[in-house]
Structure 1
Amino acid sequence: MTSSVHLASSSCASHCKLRSIFQRYTVMATTVLAISTGGAHGEQAQPGAQQGDASSDDSQGAYTLPALNVTGDSLATERNGAVNGYVAEASRVGTKTDTSILETPQSISVVTRQQMDLQRPASTSTALRYTAGATSEKFGGFGDYIDLTRIRGVDADYYLDGLRIISNAGSWLPQIDPYTLERVEVLRGPSASIYGQGTGGGIVNQVSRKPQAEAVHDLNVQYGSFERKQIGFDTTGAVNQDQTLLYRFTASGLDSNGQVEDVHHERLYLAPSLTWLPDERTSWTLMATHSREPDLPNYNSLPAAVLGLNNSPYPQINRRRNFTDMNFEGSSRRQNSLSSLFEHELADGWTFTSNARYMYIDSDLQRGIVYGYQAVDGRPQLKGTYEQTSAQVNTLSLDNNLRGDIELGATTHTVLAGIDYSKGTVKNDLYSVGPVLFDPYGSNYRPNITPDFTASRAAPWRVKQAFTREGLYLQDQIAYGHWRLTLSARHDWSKTDDQTHSYSATSRTTRQYDKKWSGRAGLSYQFDAGIAPYVSYSTSFDPLLGTDYKGDTFIPVESRQSEVGVKYHPHNSKTLMSAAVFQLNQTNVKTSDADHLGFSNQAGEVRTRGLDLQATTEIAENTNLIASYTYLDNALIKDSRYQGKQLVQTPEHSAAVWLDYLIGSGPLAGLQLGSGVRYLGETYGDPSNTFKVPDATLVDMALNYDLGRLLGEWKGSALALNVSNLANKQYVASCSSQMYCFIGQDRTVTATLNYRW
């Protein structure tokens, strides 16, 4: 329900509990390690199994698992998604077929495992810092604990292995540990023609690490700023000698404080998976995830007036102070999922795919909220409220499709036809007490009362929604010489039953039916030199879950986009560049409620015009460059209250450059150095556009050393150092109103010792 930062207690009980978790995890990891090392070393892959790249080229560094080459084999592409280097040539995210990024008439970026291994992001959203069109910094220091990314000015939909993660903000949103991912794919613009109901900005698809035949194991330990301690373990290989049954087990444990005093984060994340390859044409993968966070942190939002914004006459407060009652704090989150990915190649080149996932998210949040301020005797007094929030989300998602190639005269048609279905329930209970005034500048800078929730429980804010979503889609990718024409159409049906208490003892029940056609048409020309200009038009709609502060259900968002772009990828090169200009129009867009933190309103119509530039290339041997730039010009062109204004938390300009170099010879051979610069443009801080949040330029750094180059006995070991915000720039990440601003992430330093064998 709320996107404010959440507090978590750091009691001895929680520390003891985490130590117990780590002890159990160590026993588990040791057991799996003993089994896996006795498994499939030296075995030859059977034709039906996917063989990993076992070359272990020293130039790739010793800290990554062996990557798999992207091939034309559809099962390999779907099952592993692995890439050597930073440039992915193919992705299913744009079409659900094995189509090269060059031939997809839409803007796509891929963050590979190798890039993540060097930059070591703490979350999926921070993995997108160097990706064009993606804004992942709006919550600053809170960004490691919640994945919220804006694409082209719109909050993106998050997917896992091609299936949407349906959630309610009251559940504090599900989060996937990036250590368990093979790659992160970003598709910019409306994608409803194949994915169904969703936002018009784009999607973020997280691709899990899948089982592979070659036995490979990875163990790493981290220690960093704010007493961050993390351990990760990943093992994969064949269960049987003929390599028709493959396993993977990935796990991580985290114990960390935060840049604000008295916050604590604990997490145990487990991701086992099993792949069955009964023959060369069939692949069935079962995957599960379990995440348990007994302690969640809270950075809280703060008014602009106490952060030096909006020409404030008040002194800035101490950014490291925690302005909440720690005697009250205590929040937790649990997350479980079970997925099935099935694929079978039929006769005559046709392939049937069936994917399914059940996901459950449960969170209990007990925290304090800073709810603006009030001037008392010429000094601002913060207003604090006490909140208890319980939220649960249950979802079942299914996607089945059939794809194949048809030759018609001089044209080749890659046809995709599918049906998907999802259903679930969203529950959210909120009780609050307050506000309580307190002085943030004094020695007693926290509210301190014994909250009584009796009245709030008698008249709560409570939402229960049950929904079903159904869709039929058809796509035809037509190749004629150098021309590529992509046509997609989809029809969706949606039903939502809503029961809401809006701070009232009585409830209001509504039922909402929606149905809509969505489509996409894209045309590109493939030059022999690897240049591909394209033009596309796409639409989408999203029947939103949730309600506003008054308890009114949201009406569907409708989007339409025109895009013109060009991509450049020379054959067999390690270079991919793209440029796109676009206009995106959306009606009924959700915008932050300036008066009620964590709630949203709906605007009339937002028009966004922009430019995305992205380049990923190996500019010289062992030297990689990533560069991106985004320009966004957005305005509310139809709105009863804010017409003509720009959206908050949406920079007009943003840019990033990353460069890394691996020393291949000499006394420093095996040392990889990387550095990046991120520019976060200024943003408006409130819907009325009365003040701006200043821009910020941040510097990141990465070092990785292959210890095997130092001593042969240490082969497979690597030592890494990562620094985010090297200069420790003190900045404000964003504001959604004058009352709610989020401090930026301070400098974080992380050292990692990695062993792979």
Structure 2
Amino acid sequence: MLFYFSITRCFSQHTAELRGDIFDNGERALAGVSVVLKGVSVYTVVSGEKGDFVFHNIQPGEYRLYASRTGFANYEQKIRVKDKDQFIHIYLASQANELQSVEITGHRRKAYKLNETYIGSKGGMNIKDLPQSVSYATKELMLDQGDVRVGEVVKNFSGVNQFTSYDDLTIRGFRVNGQSNTQLLNGMRTSTGFWKQPLTNYLERVEVLKGPASALYGNASPGGVVNRVTKKPLNESRKNITLQMGSFNTFRVLTDFTGPVNKDSSLLYRLNLGYEDANTFRDLMFDKNIVVAPSVSFIPDANTRINVDLVYNASRSRLDRGQSLLANGDLNSTPQSLSLATPNDKLNENTYTITVAGSRKLGDNASFNVAYSRTGYNEDLYEHRGANAYAKDTMGKDVSNLVAMQIFARKRNRYIGNLTAYADFKINTGSIEHNWIAGYDYGSELSPAGASQLTASGYRNAANNAAITFNAAQYAQNPSAYIKRFLVKDGLLVPNVPSFNLNDVVNSQKMQDDSKAFFTNTTLAPTYYYLHAGYLQDRVRIGRLQLLLGIRYEHYTDFANYLATNQTKTNSTALLPRFGAVYTVSENINVYGTYVTGYNPQSAATLSNPSAGGPFEPLRSNMTEFGAKSSWLHNRLSASAAVYRIEQKNTLYNANNPNNPDSMMQIGKERSEGIEFDVTGQLTSSWSIMASYAYNDARILAGSDAEKNRQKPNAPRNLANLWTKYMIRKGPLSGLGAGLGVYYVGERGLSISLDQTIPAYTLVNAAVYYNFGQMQLQLNVNNATNKKHWVGGYDYIRLFPGNPRQYLITLNYAF
């Protein structure tokens, strides 16, 4: 009887079934993976053809699950088996693609969703474990949407919109532009030419770390930092050729080749090429671009990785200074296609960035990483542009249909260098896991001697032998005497450069004879700065709690009046702490909180504006953020939410000085606070989705009475985006798919004229796809409803209209 009861009790004890599936980072099922479960007992299975596996009759308790297969990094996970059936989803990283300290080799994934990021911490980490908000767009999303420039990509990022049509963004209410060194390329500080957004064909992804990033990257915008990640080599052969044709005489040829160079795959290559010849809907505007982006990775052994990246872009275009309205302020008073350019104008830019990065493992728990990048930029500009004012009559009044004009002829160069080196090592103290990073950064920017600008502006003097400016204050003192200084015709002051007649666009846009204009030669003063910084960071794991603790000390050196006889050196320092915590509520949900600080000098070298004035105090900022990150549907779908407050003091704003439109003034304090939501991933294997919403209240708290309590310029309170794509995988319509997107931007104030606004807008974008064999044919219709809108602006003389309805046909051949 006793034996009977013992047997009965044993067999009545609850057991469970543990099922799962295994994929690589490209969402491909992995067969033949050895899966071991160790704990109360030891169980071993091998995954099937669909990557599936199952453990039967598992006793409840604490276990460790191990998964391994040749060519992939080993996988390990703690798991609690309960007295009911469970399912887990596992991703294995290729050994050439495991979570690297620096990105040396490429990614095979073909999905909208990312699991890891390199932007939020030195070295890679899971996005769910990062106590700060990150938005991103993969190359797959960019291709599906027909996005070819970063300004088109940012609609997918909560809290990010265009400030102008240049390489110029607003992140959480704060401006970030390509000249300000707050942009990154492969995690290294870089700069663009600002005027033009480069093509994205060589990019693996674009990502944004929200909030001050100075503890990681030095001087940066408090709103966030943009990181463009280039495509890295793969250890398998892939070739891709893309042709694009569309509205406004658009034509592009893009190629992407990658694979091993030798038999043992120790040397890998990738080559991205791009050619663009396109007009725009804006009068006289065009873009001709050549992009050459080779990348080589050398992996001599399992512990050593070296990568060399080059991105070269040759751009030929005209500079678009925006749309001007009649002085009555009617947004419909001029066509959105109107530009003030002439056929004489040109903007020739050449930009290169070369990056050398290496990583060396020092055993299982330590590595050393180093990277150096150098960016060079050359500008050759000739333009007819508005003078940010209307022409004057002899009564000192604006002539509503005449925009005062000026001519700029400018040549300049800029060079940026960055070095980062850090050690990464893991140490456990009992049950507490530490991942320490200790490193050093060096950065510099040089605008060398030799840059200069010819400027023709103002009005002709009475003797018609020079140009003079109109000063409203002096005119008011004695109008009749003051006007005698000017050459007058038909009741108007005769301009040095003919005014642009908004009522006679065709004649105003003719080629101009500039030989009669009076030019002044302005030397653009050379500038130079450099910085040294050291930082220490510890990622701590205590059970379900993770801490991210960091501190950076930066010593910044700038040269006032660089290379002049009165050159002086100025130094500033900053201590930048960072604190973050992540708590794992469940297998699906992490919650987090963070506090970060920011710092950005405002010197001659960083402002890139010799007419700004100054000297100015550095920007100082801080952010508090709380949020949650989650993954669902076996890690195919992610969702996140964040609430934040950012404070900054010493911001520069336009001084609204009519005699110096470029002069700046320093505002006392700003605050930005809001909420953000993001959803990314796959609802099914055929249905992908990306959605976001952001509310942002960004106000000037201390400054002049005119600025106080206003929403910051070009910072909408509401932003929302939805994009979804569905592909038919089976049946007679297999290979056919469609995409649909809706993008909303709220009303915005402009940055120079504080009382002027541009309206909210909603855009509808659509796409149709057809895959047949190794080819894909794609049609994108962006702004399908032909909504009239503006993406940003300075005032009603410089507005930046958004594209009307446009079509883009893409033919992609992979082999």
CA RMSD of aligned residues (A): 2.8
The answer to whether the 8 Å contact 1:49/1:277 transfers is no
Q: Distance in 2 between matches of 1:663 and 1:99?
A: 34
**The 10-residue stretch of structure 1 (538-547 or 685-694) with the greater mean CA deviation from structure 2:** 685-694
**CA positional deviation for 1:272:** 1.0
Deviation per CA, 1:395-420: give whole Å up to 9, x if none: 11111111121101221011111101
**The 10-residue stretch of structure 1 (388-397 or 563-572) with the greater mean CA deviation from structure 2:** 563-572
**CA positional deviation for 1:174:** 7.5
Matches within 5 A, 1:137-536: 138-139=163-164, 143=165, 146-156=166-176, 157-166=182-191, 171-172=193-194, 176-293=198-315, 295-305=316-326, 309=329, 312=330, 316-326=333-343, 328-371=344-387, 372-374=389-391, 379-427=400-448, 428-435=451-458, 436-442=498-504, 443-446=506-509, 449-451=512-514, 456-458=519-521, 460=522, 462-499=524-561, 509-536=567-594
**The 10-residue stretch of structure 1 (526-535 or 485-494) with the greater mean CA deviation from structure 2:** 526-535
The answer to whether the 8 Å contact 2:72/2:94 transfers is no
Match of 2:710 in 1: 645
**CA positional deviation for 1:532:** 1.1
The answer to whether structure 1 residue 690 and structure 2 residue 744 are counterparts is no
Match of 1:603 in 2: 667
Matches within 5 A, 1:688-727: 689-706=754-771, 708=772, 715-727=773-785
Q: Name the amino acid aligned to 2:524.
A: R
Query: Secondary structure of the residue that 1:129 maps to in structure 2?
Result: helix
Name the CA shift for 1:602/1:83 in 2 (closer, same or farther; >3 Å).
farther
Name the CA shift for 1:190/1:82 in 2 (closer, same or farther; >3 Å).
farther
**The 10-residue stretch of structure 1 (157-166 or 547-556) with the greater mean CA deviation from structure 2:** 547-556
Name the CA shift for 1:556/1:77 in 2 (closer, same or farther; >3 Å).
same
Q: Distance in 1 between matches of 2:298 and 2:96?
A: 20
The answer to whether structure 1 residue 674 and structure 2 residue 739 are counterparts is yes
Match of 1:31 in 2: none
Matches within 5 A, 1:613-652: 613-640=677-704, 642-652=707-717
Name the CA shift for 1:367/1:275 in 2 (closer, same or farther; >3 Å).
same
Q: Distance in 2 between matches of 1:73 and 1:149?
A: 30
Name the CA shift for 1:181/1:453 in 2 (closer, same or farther; >3 Å).
farther
Name the CA shift for 1:512/1:755 in 2 (closer, same or farther; >3 Å).
same
Match of 1:753 in 2: 811
Match of 1:83 in 2: 109
**CA positional deviation for 1:359:** 1.2
2:801 pairs with one of 737, 743, 756? 743
The answer to whether the 8 Å contact 1:577/1:615 transfers is yes
Name the CA shift for 1:722/1:132 in 2 (closer, same or farther; >3 Å).
same
Q: Distance in 2 between matches of 1:186 and 1:71?
A: 22
Structure 1: give runs of 5+ residues left out of the alignment. Answer: 1-45, 51-66, 709-714
Q: Distance in 2 between matches of 1:550 and 1:395?
A: 22
**CA positional deviation for 1:431:** 2.4
Match of 1:53 in 2: none
Name the CA shift for 1:597/1:319 in 2 (closer, same or farther; >3 Å).
farther
Q: Distance in 1 between matches of 2:566 and 2:799?
A: 33
Q: Distance in 2 between matches of 1:449 and 1:352?
A: 59
Match of 1:540 in 2: 598
Q: Distance in 1 between matches of 2:562 and 2:335?
A: 39
Q: Distance in 2 between matches of 1:269 and 1:553?
A: 38
Deviation per CA, 1:555-595: give whole Å up to 9, x if none: 32111011111111148421111111111011122335655
Q: Name the amino acid aligned to 2:170.
A: R
Q: Distance in 1 between matches of 2:663 and 2:808?
A: 35
Name the CA shift for 1:530/1:469 in 2 (closer, same or farther; >3 Å).
same
**The 10-residue stretch of structure 1 (573-582 or 375-384) with the greater mean CA deviation from structure 2:** 375-384
Query: Secondary structure of the residue that 2:248 maps to in structure 1?
Result: helix
Name the CA shift for 1:552/1:741 in 2 (closer, same or farther; >3 Å).
same
Q: Name the amino acid aligned to 1:678.
A: Y
Q: Distance in 1 between matches of 2:644 and 2:566?
A: 41
Q: Name the amino acid aligned to 1:740.
A: R
Q: Distance in 1 between matches of 2:565 and 2:524?
A: 9
Structure 2: give runs of 5+ residues left out of the alignment. Answer: 1-68, 74-92, 177-181, 459-497
Match of 2:723 in 1: 658
**CA positional deviation for 1:598:** 6.5
More helix, by proportion: 1
Q: Distance in 2 between matches of 1:692 and 1:396?
A: 39
**CA positional deviation for 1:133:** 1.4
The answer to whether the 8 Å contact 1:152/1:632 transfers is yes
Q: Distance in 2 between matches of 1:304 and 1:578?
A: 42
The answer to whether structure 1 residue 74 and structure 2 residue 132 are counterparts is no
Deviation per CA, 1:61-98: give whole Å up to 9, x if none: xxxxxx97996542696532553411111111111222
The answer to whether the 8 Å contact 2:320/2:341 transfers is no
The answer to whether the 8 Å contact 2:612/2:664 transfers is no
**CA positional deviation for 1:602:** 3.5
Name the CA shift for 1:250/1:228 in 2 (closer, same or farther; >3 Å).
same
Deviation per CA, 1:18-54: give whole Å up to 9, x if none: xxxxxxxxxxxxxxxxxxxxxxxxxxxx98899xxxx
Name the CA shift for 1:688/1:639 in 2 (closer, same or farther; >3 Å).
farther
Q: Name the amino acid aligned to 2:230.
A: S
The answer to whether the 8 Å contact 2:595/2:623 transfers is yes
The answer to whether structure 1 residue 561 and structure 2 residue 623 are counterparts is yes
Q: Distance in 2 between matches of 1:69 and 1:456?
A: 62
Paired-residue identity, %: 24
Q: Distance in 1 between matches of 2:185 and 2:795?
A: 32
Q: Distance in 1 between matches of 2:253 and 2:550?
A: 44
Query: Secondary structure of the residue that 1:331 maps to in structure 2?
Result: strand
Q: Distance in 2 between matches of 1:174 and 1:419?
A: 32
Query: Secondary structure of the residue that 2:711 maps to in structure 1?
Result: coil
The answer to whether the 8 Å contact 1:70/1:77 transfers is no
Name the CA shift for 1:305/1:548 in 2 (closer, same or farther; >3 Å).
farther
Deviation per CA, 1:190-228: give whole Å up to 9, x if none: 111122221111111111111111010000111111101
Q: Distance in 1 between matches of 2:671 and 2:590?
A: 27
**CA positional deviation for 1:739:** 3.4
**CA positional deviation for 1:455:** 5.9
Larger Rg: 2
Number of positions where the alignment pairs a residue of Structure 1 with one of Structure 2 = 670
**CA positional deviation for 1:116:** 1.5
Deviation per CA, 1:381-435: give whole Å up to 9, x if none: 1122111122211111111111121101221011111101012302553322124
Q: Distance in 2 between matches of 1:365 and 1:158?
A: 23
